[in-house]
């Protein structure tokens, strides 16, 4: 049995477990039930859990049959009722609690004989079904009225009752535990004083010597720019070696599936009802035993359309390993807050984060597990490369694909190979759960929680590595959508730089001098480069005109013209060299002809960077949603292919 497929041949039928034996009367074949029993024994779980996990029966149908067998009423809702908020235990304990949940007392005036009796919704473990029948026959007149409900319905009710504590922890957990690294505050008083002193010093110097101020600012900005150029050139020169290292450990295909850990797949969704069907088909195709997989679709409570779509598709596809988590409305309205909320409800020892538009390679979880097993505990995160699947949809999507190729197949593998801090991508991050717990999870106030988490990991000695199997993503094709997305990214980089520069000496000691310099280039340098890029062109043109007209004030800037021209050209060429090498890796070599458009793309990046700087002072925690287009309906062939991958 490999990857979830059932072998219907082989061992002798020695009797069925009670929790599935009764299903024969509802039309389920003996051969199938026997196979389920064998697989359940191998995974050391109940046969009913095995059957549900593999989608052989819908959860609602199973518990309806249970209710019929027990002679109890079946319900599909377990409300919060009048019960006070509760503190939820570990998810494994929560699973056990969900088998029996008390709801509101019976107080129907039409049935006065029922006063004083309690309603309890049960999702019974039917491995002792006959004993349960006997108990019910003896306690028919008890003070408790039992009704059967699906386990997921009971669990959702308990999660709702514990939502106050969960949302408080999601919003305030990191700030209470590690206040100095929380982006809740934009500036610390010390940082504000330092900035004010620098501005005052520059203003005083400008009063006496304006050219000196221009020289100082110009040279400092150019140093950041040149540092980024050097980093790209090193990554391009190192390209072949870093990718060989990345591909040195791959899934061999030989695993005892029953020994695999639980993998939690977290997918934050907001106003993504059009993506849900294709997303869940893609996640269903992940080659991982469904008995060891939990998919958490994280929805905002005020997004009923997406919640409804998720539940509908889960039911239609019998994807019982998937469930919906409703996050209560609370500021900040960010993706990391939703992730921090859901993390508390996950039982997996391995965690991966995907976005709504993601289509991960079916073997990606296998590769990640293999790399984790072969690595030391210091490898806390594995980043899957992101590649753009809609690169044919206009020039913006093509340039986006070029940028992602240079980043995920060029720069990040180089950083991982030299054990440098890796600013993670916002999706397809695979984590060891214990590392996330040590780190305090995601910062709900940082709008690029991925880059921040990469830096926090490096500061306490954790490392990131790269996988080879990709996740396909969708690039924005609308300029306004793209600018808002990039504004958020730049704003988050500013936040990350400010957070980790609150204690620069301590950060340097933790990272080491080399990695501290790399942090300045990766987070500070990329941001500064985007901000100053248009001004380099301005200085080149203005100073050239000044020299031509023999403007005495401008003549002192003559040497800077040469520096600016070399800097701009080297910036384009270094990126083009890295992209040129990386693009063929994902069969995107045809996009090389679009490298001529880099100057336009970088000017757009500058617009976003300046917009982010303005927004940082006005709305630092605003999360500008990146809307995605409605998915195309999957063809019959595509759906059959996904089904084949799921069972292969």
Grouping H, G, I as helix, E, B as strand and the rest as coil, residue 147 is: strand
pLDDT digits (tens, 9 = 90+) for 406-449: 999 999 999 999 999 999 988 999 999 999 999 999 999 999 99
* CA dist., res. 42 & res. 24, Å (int): 22
Quickly tell me which residue has 């340097």 as its tokens. Answer: 508
Quickly tell me which residue has 């630092």 as its tokens. Answer: 620
Beta carbons within 8 Å of 199's beta carbon, 6+ residues apart: none
* CA dist., res. 333 & res. 389, Å (int): 28
* CA dist., res. 567 & res. 552, Å (int): 24
* CA dist., res. 47 & res. 66, Å (int): 14
Give the N- to C-terminal CA distance of the chain in Å, as an integer. 10
Q: How many CB atoms lie within 10 A of CB 299?
A: 29
Cα dist from 369 to 351, 363, 377, 467, 534, whole Å: 11, 10, 13, 10, 45
- The CATH code that applies to domain 66-161 is 3.30.300
Annotate 90-141 with DSSP letters as a single string. -HHHHHHHTTEEEEEEP--TT-GGGTTPEEEEE---GGGHHHHHHHHHH-TT
* CA dist., res. 214 & res. 36, Å (int): 75
* CA dist., res. 627 & res. 365, Å (int): 27
pLDDT confidence band for 352 (50 / 70 / 90): very high
pLDDT confidence band for 279 (50 / 70 / 90): very high
Residue 547: what pLDDT?
65
pLDDT digits (tens, 9 = 90+) for 291-324: 999 999 999 999 999 999 999 999 999 999 999 9
For the chain, the structural domain boundaries read 66-161
Query: Which residues are 74's β-sheet partners?
Result: 148
Element (H, E) at 295: strand 293-300
Quickly tell me which residue has 């239609």 as its tokens. Answer: 316
How much is the average pLDDT of 253-279? 90
Total residue count of the chain as it appears in this document: 648
pLDDT digits (tens, 9 = 90+) for 375-409: 999 999 999 999 999 999 999 999 999 999 999 99
Beta carbons within 8 Å of 268's beta carbon, 6+ residues apart: 298, 335, 338, 339, 342, 353, 355, 356
Instruction: Please tell me the pTM assigned to this model.
Output: 0.90
Element (H, E) at 350: strand 350-353
Here the tokens at position 33 are 């039930």
Residue 641: what pLDDT?
46
* CA dist., res. 539 & res. 548, Å (int): 14
Here the tokens at position 576 are 């083009």
Query: Which residues are 396's β-sheet partners?
Result: none
In eight-state DSSP terms, residue 229 is H
Residue 6: what pLDDT?
52
Cα dist from 143 to 84, 90, 114, whole Å: 22, 30, 9
CB-count burial class (<10 Å; 0-12, 13-18, 19+) for 98: buried
* CA dist., res. 578 & res. 410, Å (int): 6
CB 488 within 8 A of CB 198: no
Q: Using the Cα atoms of residue 107, residue 112, residue 113 and residue 115 in order, give the sign of their dihedral.
A: positive
How much is the average pLDDT of 97-106? 79
pLDDT digits (tens, 9 = 90+) for 2-15: 444 555 444 444 58
In eight-state DSSP terms, residue 408 is I
Residue 94: what pLDDT?
84
Residue 535: what pLDDT?
82
pLDDT confidence band for 556 (50 / 70 / 90): low
pLDDT digits (tens, 9 = 90+) for 486-544: 999 999 999 999 999 999 999 999 999 999 999 999 998 888 889 988 888 877 777 67
Task: Find, among 567, 597, 627, 568, the residue nearest to 402 by Cα.
Answer: 597
pLDDT digits (tens, 9 = 90+) for 169-189: 999 999 999 999 999 998 888
* CA dist., res. 29 & res. 549, Å (int): 93
pLDDT confidence band for 554 (50 / 70 / 90): low
CB 465 within 8 A of CB 413: no
Q: Give 643 or 163, the one with higher predicted confidence.
A: 163
pLDDT averaged over every residue in the chain: 86
Grouping H, G, I as helix, E, B as strand and the rest as coil, residue 386 is: strand
Residue 135: what pLDDT?
86
R_g of the chain, CA atoms, integer Å = 29
CB 396 within 8 A of CB 319: no
Here the tokens at position 470 are 């990709």
CB-count burial class (<10 Å; 0-12, 13-18, 19+) for 155: buried
pLDDT digits (tens, 9 = 90+) for 586-638: 999 999 999 999 999 999 999 999 999 999 989 999 998 888 765 544 444 44
**Looking at the predicted structure, is the pLDDT value of residue 129 above 80?**
yes
Element (H, E) at 268: strand 263-269
Q: In what order do the strands lie in the sheet with 386-388?
A: 359-360, 471-473, 386-388
Query: Which residues are 360's β-sheet partners?
Result: 471
The bridge status of strand 263-269 relative to strand 293-300 is: parallel
**Looking at the predicted structure, is the pLDDT value of residue 143 above 70?**
no
Task: Find, among 179, 333, 323, the residue nearest to 264 by Cα.
Answer: 323
Following CA atoms 489, 491, 493, 497 in sequence, which dihedral angle do they give, to the nearest 10 degrees? -170
């Amino acid at each position: 049995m490999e990857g979830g497929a059932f072998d219907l041949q082989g061992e002798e039928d020695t009797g069925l477990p009670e929790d599935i034996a009764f299903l024969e009367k509802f039309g389920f074949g003996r051969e199938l039930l026997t196979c389920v029993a064998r697989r359940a024994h191998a995974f050391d779980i109940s046969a009913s859990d095995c059957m549900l996990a593999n989608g052989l029966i819908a959860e609602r149908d199973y518990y309806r049959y249970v209710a019929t067998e027990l002679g109890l009423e079946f319900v599909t809702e377990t409300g919060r009722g009048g019960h006070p908020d509760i503190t939820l235990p570990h998810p494994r304990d929560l699973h056990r609690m969900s088998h029996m949940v008390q709801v509101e007392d019976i107080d129907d005036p039409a049935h006065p004989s029922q006063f004083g009796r309690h309603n309890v919704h049960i999702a019974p473990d039917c491995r002792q079904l006959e004993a349960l029948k006997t108990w019910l026959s003896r306690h028919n007149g008890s003070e408790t009225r039992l009704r059967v409900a699906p386990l997921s319905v009971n669990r959702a009710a308990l999660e709702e009752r514990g939502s106050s504590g969960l949302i408080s922890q999601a919003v305030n957990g990191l700030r209470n535990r590690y206040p100095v690294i929380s982006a809740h505050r934009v500036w610390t008083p010390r940082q504000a004083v330092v900035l004010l002193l620098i501005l005052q010093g520059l203003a005083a110097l400008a009063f006496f010597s304006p050219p000196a101020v221009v020289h100082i600012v110009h040279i400092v900005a150019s140093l950041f720019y040149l540092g980024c150029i050097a980093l790209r050139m090193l990554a391009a020169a190192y390209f072949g070696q870093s990718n060989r290292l990345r591909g040195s450990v791959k899934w061999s295909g030989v695993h005892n599936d029953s020994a695999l850990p639980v993998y939690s797949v977290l997918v934050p969704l907001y106003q993504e009802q059009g993506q849900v069907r294709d997303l869940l088909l893609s996640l269903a195709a992940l080659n991982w035993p469904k008995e060891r997989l939990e998919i958490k679709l994280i929805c905002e409570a005020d997004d009923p359309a997406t919640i409804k779509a998720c539940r509908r598709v889960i039911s239609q596809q019998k994807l019982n390993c998937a469930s919906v988590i409703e996050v209560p409305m609370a500021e900040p309205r960010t993706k990391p807050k939703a992730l921090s909320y859901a993390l508390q409800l996950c039982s997996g020892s391995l965690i991966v984060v995907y976005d709504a538009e993601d289509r991960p390679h079916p073997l990606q979880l296998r590769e990640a597990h293999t790399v984790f097993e072969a690595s030391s505990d210091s490898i806390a995160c594995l980043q899957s490369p992101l590649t753009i699947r809609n690169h044919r949809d206009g020039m913006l999507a093509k340039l986006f694909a070029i940028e992602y190729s240079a980043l995920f197949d060029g720069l990040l593998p180089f950083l991982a190979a030299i054990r440098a801090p890796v600013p993670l991508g916002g999706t397809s991050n695979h984590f060891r759960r214990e590392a996330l717990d040590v780190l305090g999870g995601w910062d709900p106030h940082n709008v690029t929680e991925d880059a921040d988490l990469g830096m926090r990991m490096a500061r306490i000695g954790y490392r990131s590595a790269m996988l080879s199997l990709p996740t396909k993503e969708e690039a924005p094709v609308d300029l306004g959508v793209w600018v808002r997305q990039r504004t958020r990214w730049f704003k988050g980089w500013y936040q990350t730089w400010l957070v980790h520069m609150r204690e620069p000496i301590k950060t340097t000691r933790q990272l080491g001098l080399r990695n501290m310099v790399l942090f300045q280039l990766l987070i500070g340098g990329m941001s500064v480069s985007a901000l100053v890029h248009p001004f380099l062109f301005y200085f080149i043109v203005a100073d050239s005109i000044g020299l031509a007209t023999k403007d005495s004030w401008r003549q002192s800037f003559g040497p800077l013209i040469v520096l600016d021209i070399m800097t701009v050209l080297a910036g384009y060429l270094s990126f083009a060299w890295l992209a040129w090498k990386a693009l063929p890796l994902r069969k995107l070599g045809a996009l090389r002809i679009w490298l001529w458009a880099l100057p336009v793309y970088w000017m757009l990046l500058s617009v976003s960077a300046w917009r982010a700087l303005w927004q940082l002072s006005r709305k630092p925690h605003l999360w500008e949603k990146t809307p995605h287009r409605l998915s195309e309906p999957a063809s019959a062939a595509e759906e059959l292919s996904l089904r084949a991958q799921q069972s292969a």
